[in-house]
Structures are given as structure tokens and as C-alpha cells.
Amino acid sequence: MSKLEEECKVLLEDNGIDINSDIDFDVNGEVHTLSFEYIIDTYMKASEESQLVFLAALKKAVRVDNIGVNKFFEGMGQLLLMTHLSDKIEL
């Protein structure tokens, strides 16, 4: 686990947020469930610059409250799903 990934997870734990929380996304009638941990792990595979942006945004979301954190992970999960689905589109 990278230092930035660990920092993200510790940040959540220190603020009483369960890393195993998950969010359901309905994509054309098919439900996809992503956990906070999965979203963090996936973003930590990006460039170091992207990882730092993710961490900075997560810190801001935590300062807002749990609603901010949930909205943050909803947005990040949507981006992951859109990227994944766009990779599968055949033109």
C-alpha cells in the first residue's frame, strides 16, 4: 500500500468513516456496488499527481462532514464507472 493510499484510509478511519461503506450505482437498470476502499484503491493506481488531487479533495470532503464524504465517493465512483463503460463502447 502506498503512503498516499494509507493516508486516505487513515483519514477516513480517524473521522469514524467505515472504509467498507459502499455506494450503489444504477447503470441502465444494472446495479454496480463500489466500496470506498475500492474507489481509493483504484484512484491510487493513477499518476502521483492524480493521487495528490484525490487526497486533497478527500480532505476537503471530510472537513464538510459525512454527507460531504458520501457525495465525494459518489462522484468518484461515477467517474470510475463512466471511464470503465466508455472503454467498452464500440464505435
Which mean pLDDT values do the consecutive 10-residue runs of the chain (91 residues) have? 94 94 90 95 94 96 87 94 67 43
The confidence score (pLDDT) of residue 1 equals: 80
The confidence score (pLDDT) of residue 63 equals: 92
CA dist., res. 58 & res. 8, Å (int): 8
The confidence score (pLDDT) of residue 65 equals: 75
CA dist., res. 20 & res. 16, Å (int): 12
The confidence score (pLDDT) of residue 87 equals: 62
- How many helices and strands, by DSSP H and E, does the chain display? 4, 2
